[in-house]
Amino acid sequence: MKITDRQKAVLGKIHDFIMLNSYPPTARDVAEMMGFSSPKAATDHFTSLEKKGYIKRNSLARSIKLTDKALGMLKKDYSFPSPADAGHAGISYLPLIGNIAAGNPVLAYENIDEYIPVPESFTGAYGADFALRVKGRSMTGDHILDGDMIMVKARNTAENGEIVVALINDEAVVKRFYKTKDGIELVSSNTDYPPIKISIKDAGDSVKIIGRVVAVHRNI
Amino acid sequence: MKITDRQKAVLGKIHDFIMLNSYPPTARDVAEMMGFSSPKAATDHFTSLEKKGYIKRNSLARSIKLTDKALGMLKKDYSFPSPADAGHAGISYLPLIGNIAAGNPVLAYENIDEYIPVPESFTGAYGADFALRVKGRSMTGDHILDGDMIMVKARNTAENGEIVVALINDEAVVKRFYKTKDGIELVSSNTDYPPIKISIKDAGDSVKIIGRVVAVHRNI
DNA sequence: AATATTACTATACATTTGTATAGTATATGA
DNA sequence: TCATATACTATACAAATGTATAGTAATATT
């Protein structure tokens, strides 16, 4: 017997709840999330999900446990991290943005490759909203290398001199932001790459600031 | 107000329970583990632990959450390196080494400032054993800056060309490691800093390789 | 020395919560 | 087509659970 779409949705809600609260939901929590008016609807799903090997439980309060099978499926479908990581306060999960599909908002589901656990101490006072992997060498002067992962606080404005992520024709670029007399300038810190100048009348059309870089991570 | 031994024991039991069951314990669970005959004894401890910032809870069933503070403290007491996490973990706690006290082993309790949660995906295939904050600009050529946090896999040997952490007279330095005809050479990637050459007969005395740098993290 | 905190026992009560009963409607598979 | 599984609503009950009351005793703290 295969898992149904509805059961999958319930499983997803259980997972989301654990991620958010770090303890499992009750039948009533799930019923509310799913819009059921009776907890029985939720427990019926639990029974099915347990029979199919996606959860384990005993008849105690909040004792649902997601199995590896569930985690595998969720990972396939939503690329979520293991809820075993939850329960650790101070860790947030940043969506790792892959290729940015034209037209979609940056944080659109379609753009999210996976979620990565990041300790909040790694993202500074204001936190971060998403992560990106850097492509190219345009910011080597600021010690941001090809392949580095950057963590970004979502914002559509920037202060002079800040390192920002901007969308230029649906491509994410990392640059230093400067205001000029007649617009803005996005400057690479590698002099091989010329600065991009945008006049006020063009700005907003092809170029959009999507956030400020708050952290850089690199595996060696 | 400092945490008491008894409160620490309760915190440990909560941690153990979560690790074992993946959902938090009730007051009665804790009472049983601790040998209390009343759940009130446990909730009294919960109240103290919450006041001291080790747990968070609301008045729902099994809603205890351990804080970073608690996890850091538990790691310290639970012997090094990371114990129970092993399961699905995804996150390990690296001791952040502060000043290295003369004579002590690098990972000695005295040297550990705090424990920081780090996703295992941040530390590569072999993981890391501790973290250090970089002082000075000697490795800017390799894009490792003053103030960066580096994650280190403990090892007392190194391959040619690897970026290592070495102890020179009880001071931790980050350098590239090279073998020479008559010993080793620790090379800065900032040419302002001259290479350090150690002949075989001196090596082992004043210089000790303590690990390989596997990751760099920087807040901007 | 007086006071507050810690560390419990014992009992009880009100919520929270899992689960059961009873039923409707739709979809699926043999 | 007939049985089975899915997907719920509505109500209710019993167990699980947080928390309160009322104490005792030891240990810190001022």
pLDDT tens for residues B122-174?
887 677 888 888 888 889 999 999 889 999 988 777 888 999 988 877 678 89
Residue B93: pLDDT above 50? Answer: yes
Mean pLDDT of B108-132: 72
Q: How far is Cα B32 from Cα B42, in angstroms, rounded to an integer?
A: 9
Structure tokens at B130: 């501790």
Percent of chain B clearing pLDDT 70 (strictly above)? 76
Q: How many CA atoms lie within 13 A of B93 on its CB side?
A: 27
Residue B79 confidence (pLDDT): 33
Structure tokens at B179: 């073998």
Average pLDDT, chain B: 77
Q: Which of A153-162, B27-36, B65-74, B152-161 has the lowest mean pLDDT?
A: B65-74
In sequence order, the 6+-apart residues with CB closer than 8 A to the CB of A62 are A23, A24, A25, A26, B23, B24, B60, B61, B62, B63
Residue A59 confidence (pLDDT): 79
**Marked catalytic residue, from B13, B138, B153, B188:** B138
- Compute the 3-state secondary structure of chain B and give helix, strand, coil in percent, each to the nearest 5: 25, 30, 40
A94 closest CA partner among A115, A76, A79, A80: A115
Single-letter amino acid, residue A52 = K
Mean pLDDT of B27-51: 88
Q: How far is Cα B156 from Cα B167, in angstroms, rounded to an integer?
A: 11
- Which nucleotide is closest, CA of A44 to its C1'? D7
Mean pLDDT of B84-99: 55
CA distances from A22 to A17, B18, B69 (A): 7, 10, 16
Structure tokens at B5: 């031994």
How many Å from the CA of A9 to C1' of D15? Answer: 29
First to last CA, chain A: 45
Note the helical H segments in B22-133.
27-34, 39-51, 68-77
Choice between A169 and B198, residue whose per-residue pLDDT is larger: B198
Under the banding of pLDDT at 50, 70 and 90, the label for residue B213 is very high
Mutation pick from A17, A19, A22, A23 vs chain B, by most beta carbons of B within 10 Å, is: A23
**Domains contained in chain B, CATH given:** 5-73 (1.10.10.10), 86-217 (2.10.109.10)
Residue A68 confidence (pLDDT): 62
How many Å from the CA of A45 to C1' of C29? Answer: 21
In sequence order, the 6+-apart residues with CB closer than 8 A to the CB of A196 are A168, A175, A185, A186, A187, A207
- Compute the 3-state secondary structure of chain A and give helix, strand, coil in percent, each to the nearest 5: 30, 30, 40
Report the b/e string of A14-53 with b at 16+ CB within 10 A: bbbbbbebbbbbbbebbbebeebeebebbbebbebbeebe
Owner of token pair 């959902």: B23
Average pLDDT, chain A: 77
In Å, the largest CA–CA distance within chain B is 71
Q: Which residues of B touch A218 (CB under 8 A)?
A: 143, 215-217
Q: What is the 8-class DSSP label of residue A88?
A: B
Choice between B49 and B207, residue whose per-residue pLDDT is larger: B49
Residue B78 confidence (pLDDT): 40
Q: Which of A83-87, A165-169, B44-48, B50-54 has the lowest mean pLDDT?
A: A83-87
Identify which of B136-145, B156-165, B176-185, B192-201 has the greatest average pLDDT: B136-145
Under the banding of pLDDT at 50, 70 and 90, the label for residue B102 is very low
Choice between B19 and A13, residue whose per-residue pLDDT is larger: A13
Q: 3-class SS at B55?
A: strand
Residue B176 confidence (pLDDT): 93
Q: How far is Cα B58 from Cα A59, in angstroms, rounded to an integer?
A: 21
Residues of chain A with pLDDT under 70: 1, 19-20, 68, 71-91, 98-115, 125, 170, 200-206
Residue ranges with strand state E in chain B: 55-56, 65-66, 91-97, 112-119, 130-133, 149-154, 163-168, 171-180, 183-187, 196-199, 207-219
Contact yes or no for A24 and B67 at CB 8 A: no
Active site residue B59: no
